[in-house]
Amino acid sequence: QVTLVESGGGLVQAGGSLRLSCAASGRTFSSHTMGWFRQGPGKEREFVAAVSRLGFNTAYADSVKGRFIISRDNAKNTLYLQMNSLKPEDTAVYYCAGGRQSRLVLSAGEYDYWGQGTQVTVSS
Protein backbone atom coordinates (compact mmCIF):
# COMPACT_ATOMS: atom_id res chain seq x y z
CA GLN A 1 0.00 0.00 0.00
CA VAL A 2 1.23 3.48 -0.92
CA THR A 3 -0.15 6.74 0.48
CA LEU A 4 0.36 9.89 -1.54
CA VAL A 5 0.09 13.45 -0.23
CA GLU A 6 0.34 16.45 -2.56
CA SER A 7 1.42 19.95 -1.57
CA GLY A 8 2.53 23.18 -3.17
CA GLY A 9 -0.67 24.35 -4.80
CA GLY A 10 -1.92 27.89 -4.54
CA LEU A 11 -2.89 31.06 -6.36
CA VAL A 12 -0.49 32.47 -8.92
CA GLN A 13 -0.70 35.05 -11.69
CA ALA A 14 -0.49 34.05 -15.32
CA GLY A 15 3.12 33.65 -16.36
CA GLY A 16 4.18 32.61 -12.89
CA SER A 17 5.53 29.34 -11.55
CA LEU A 18 4.64 26.77 -8.94
CA ARG A 19 6.28 23.57 -7.79
CA LEU A 20 4.07 20.73 -6.67
CA SER A 21 5.35 17.94 -4.46
CA CYS A 22 3.91 14.52 -3.75
CA ALA A 23 5.22 12.69 -0.70
CA ALA A 24 4.85 8.92 -0.75
CA SER A 25 4.77 6.61 2.21
CA GLY A 26 6.22 3.13 2.28
CA ARG A 27 9.41 1.58 0.95
CA THR A 28 8.23 0.81 -2.55
CA PHE A 29 8.17 4.28 -4.11
CA SER A 30 11.00 3.48 -6.52
CA SER A 31 9.11 0.45 -7.84
CA HIS A 32 6.19 2.59 -9.02
CA THR A 33 5.80 4.58 -12.16
CA MET A 34 4.39 7.97 -11.16
CA GLY A 35 2.18 10.53 -12.79
CA TRP A 36 0.37 13.84 -12.42
CA PHE A 37 -3.21 14.39 -13.47
CA ARG A 38 -5.50 17.38 -13.19
CA GLN A 39 -9.21 18.10 -13.17
CA GLY A 40 -10.44 21.56 -14.02
CA PRO A 41 -13.88 22.98 -13.21
CA GLY A 42 -16.50 21.05 -15.12
CA LYS A 43 -13.88 18.94 -16.88
CA GLU A 44 -12.79 15.33 -16.90
CA ARG A 45 -9.59 14.31 -15.16
CA GLU A 46 -6.74 14.53 -17.66
CA PHE A 47 -3.19 13.31 -17.92
CA VAL A 48 -0.45 15.89 -17.31
CA ALA A 49 2.87 14.04 -17.01
CA ALA A 50 4.44 10.72 -16.09
CA VAL A 51 7.88 9.52 -15.06
CA SER A 52 9.39 6.06 -15.03
CA ARG A 53 10.56 4.24 -11.92
CA LEU A 54 14.13 5.52 -12.01
CA GLY A 55 13.25 8.86 -13.57
CA PHE A 56 14.97 8.30 -16.90
CA ASN A 57 11.84 8.42 -19.03
CA THR A 58 9.09 11.03 -19.02
CA ALA A 59 5.94 11.86 -20.93
CA TYR A 60 3.85 15.01 -21.12
CA ALA A 61 0.49 16.14 -22.37
CA ASP A 62 0.82 18.42 -25.38
CA SER A 63 -0.83 21.24 -23.42
CA VAL A 64 2.02 21.38 -20.88
CA LYS A 65 5.00 20.25 -22.95
CA GLY A 66 7.84 22.76 -22.70
CA ARG A 67 6.33 24.42 -19.62
CA PHE A 68 6.07 21.65 -16.99
CA ILE A 69 8.79 19.32 -15.76
CA ILE A 70 8.13 16.11 -13.86
CA SER A 71 10.86 14.62 -11.69
CA ARG A 72 11.31 12.32 -8.73
CA ASP A 73 13.71 11.80 -5.87
CA ASN A 74 13.55 8.16 -4.87
CA ALA A 75 15.80 8.74 -1.86
CA LYS A 76 13.18 11.16 -0.51
CA ASN A 77 10.13 9.23 -1.75
CA THR A 78 8.95 12.40 -3.45
CA LEU A 79 7.51 13.27 -6.85
CA TYR A 80 7.64 16.81 -8.22
CA LEU A 81 5.96 18.89 -10.89
CA GLN A 82 7.64 22.16 -11.78
CA MET A 83 5.10 24.35 -13.54
CA ASN A 84 6.33 27.39 -15.44
CA SER A 85 4.63 29.96 -17.66
CA LEU A 86 1.31 29.14 -16.07
CA LYS A 87 -1.89 29.98 -17.89
CA PRO A 88 -5.44 30.45 -16.59
CA GLU A 89 -6.40 27.21 -18.34
CA ASP A 90 -3.97 25.37 -16.04
CA THR A 91 -6.37 26.06 -13.17
CA ALA A 92 -7.36 22.69 -11.73
CA VAL A 93 -6.99 20.29 -8.85
CA TYR A 94 -3.74 18.42 -9.42
CA TYR A 95 -3.40 14.79 -8.36
CA CYS A 96 -0.36 12.57 -8.14
CA ALA A 97 -0.75 8.88 -8.87
CA GLY A 98 1.34 5.75 -8.57
CA GLY A 99 1.21 2.59 -10.65
CA ARG A 100 2.83 -0.82 -10.40
CA GLN A 101 3.43 -1.08 -14.14
CA SER A 102 7.01 -1.16 -15.36
CA ARG A 103 6.28 1.16 -18.28
CA LEU A 104 5.14 4.77 -18.46
CA VAL A 105 1.42 5.02 -17.89
CA LEU A 106 -0.72 7.77 -19.38
CA SER A 107 -4.17 6.42 -18.58
CA ALA A 108 -5.73 7.23 -15.21
CA GLY A 109 -7.38 3.82 -15.08
CA GLU A 110 -4.01 2.09 -14.95
CA TYR A 111 -2.84 3.82 -11.80
CA ASP A 112 -3.27 2.07 -8.47
CA TYR A 113 -2.80 4.85 -5.91
CA TRP A 114 -3.98 8.45 -5.80
CA GLY A 115 -3.40 11.47 -3.62
CA GLN A 116 -6.15 13.76 -2.39
CA GLY A 117 -5.24 16.59 -4.76
CA THR A 118 -3.96 20.14 -4.44
CA GLN A 119 -5.66 23.20 -5.93
CA VAL A 120 -3.82 25.35 -8.45
CA THR A 121 -5.46 28.60 -9.49
CA VAL A 122 -3.96 30.82 -12.16
CA SER A 123 -5.36 34.33 -12.42
CA SER A 124 -5.29 36.34 -15.62
* Predicted pLDDT of residue 112: 94
pLDDT per residue rounded down to tens, the chain (124 residues): 789 999 999 999 999 999 999 999 977 899 999 999 999 999 999 999 999 999 999 999 999 999 999 999 999 999 999 999 999 999 999 999 999 988 899 999 999 999 999 999 999 9
Alpha-helical (H) ranges within 13-89 are none
* Predicted pLDDT of residue 102: 85
* Predicted pLDDT of residue 82: 98
CA 38/CA 1 separation, integer angstroms: 22
**For 37-49, how does the pLDDT look when each residue is reduced to its tens digit (9 = 90+)?**
999 999 999 999 9
Residue of 33, 38, 14, 43 lying closest to 112 (CA atoms): 33
* Predicted pLDDT of residue 21: 98
Instruction: Work out the end-to-end distance of the chain between its first and last CA atoms, rounded to an integer number of angstroms.
Output: 40
* Predicted pLDDT of residue 26: 78
CA 84/CA 64 separation, integer angstroms: 9
* Predicted pLDDT of residue 2: 86
Residues 6+ apart with CB under 8 A from 43: 92
CA 21/CA 83 separation, integer angstroms: 11
